[in-house]
């Protein structure tokens, strides 16, 4: 697996030790896949104390080509990505709220490219991410995630035992793995901005 990003790659464990059992379904929300696939890395220092609201997230480009991102989960990808980022930030210790917040994180997907064949199976997603306070933009950064696998079968076979243990079914699709990893990677980069620029943001 090759992951290229603006910052050093974050190691995400694929084995999550938990007692929760998730029901077997044909399709799930991205957050459900995060709970099964991802162990969110803990930070050594306390998370920012301010509250954060995630959204809206929109897309300036079609998401229905290549891997058909809008057809993978139970809702359109922009909505699933928003919920995935919110869940991930909460796991990092951020106080995520749905109403008024100290910092609002909004995003616009500006580029989406899928790779399939020739030893490259993956996607490149880029999002213009804005950090706002009381509706005024305080910071902006492009957040991107690129994941490439040599083939589709390798990550599927590696995660099937995990899904079997947690859901009772080995059913897992490569696209679900790919876009869950992309969402977690982008969420980690957003957390780094919230952490490193906490004074500027508020």
- Confidence band, pLDDT 50/70/90 cuts, at residue 43: confident
Residue 173 is predicted with a pLDDT of 95
How much is the pLDDT for 11?
Answer: 35
Q: What is the pLDDT of residue 103?
A: 98
Lowest mean pLDDT among 131-145, 146-160, 181-195: 146-160
Give yes or no for residue 121 having a pLDDT over 70.
yes
Minimum mean pLDDT among 19-23, 80-84, 114-118: which range? 19-23
Domain ranges across the chain? 29-201
Assign 3-class secondary structure to the chain.
CEEECCCCCCCCECCCCCCCCCCCCCCCCHHHHHHHHCECCCCCCCCCCCEEEEEEEEECCCCCCCCCHHHCCCCCHHHHHHHHHHHHHHHCCCEECCCCCCEEEEEEEEEEEEECCCCCEEEEEEEEEEEEECCEEEEEEEEEEEEEECCCHHHHHHHHHHHHHHHCCCCCCHHHHHHHHHHHHHHHHHHHHHHHCHHHHC
Assign 17 a pLDDT band (cuts: 50, 70, 90). Answer: very low
Average pLDDT over residues 162-181: 96
Class of domain 29-201: alpha beta
Instruction: State residue 151's pLDDT score.
Output: 86
């Amino acid at each position: 697996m090759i992951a290229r990003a603006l910052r050093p790659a974050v190691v995400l464990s694929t084995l999550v030790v938990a007692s929760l059992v998730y029901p077997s379904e044909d399709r799930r929300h991205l957050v459900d896949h995060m709970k099964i696939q991802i162990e969110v890395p803990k930070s050594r220092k306390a998370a920012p104390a301010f509250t954060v609201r995630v959204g809206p997230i929109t897309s300036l480009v079609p998401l229905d080509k290549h891997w058909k991102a809008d057809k993978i989960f139970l809702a359109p990808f922009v909505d699933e990505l928003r919920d995935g980022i919110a869940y991930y930030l909460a796991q990092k210790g951020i106080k995520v709220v749905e109403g008024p917040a100290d910092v609002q994180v909004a995003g616009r997907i500006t580029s989406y490219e899928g790779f399939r064949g020739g030893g490259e199976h993956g996607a490149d997603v880029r999002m213009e991410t804005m950090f706002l306070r009381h509706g005024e933009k305080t910071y902006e950064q492009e957040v991107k995630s690129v994941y490439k696998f040599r083939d589709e079968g390798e990550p599927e076979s590696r995660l099937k035992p995990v899904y079997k243990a947690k859901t009772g079914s080995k059913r897992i699709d490569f696209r679900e793995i790919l876009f869950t990893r992309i969402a977690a990677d982008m969420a980690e980069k957003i957390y780094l901005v919230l952490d490193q620029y906490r004074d500027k943001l508020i």
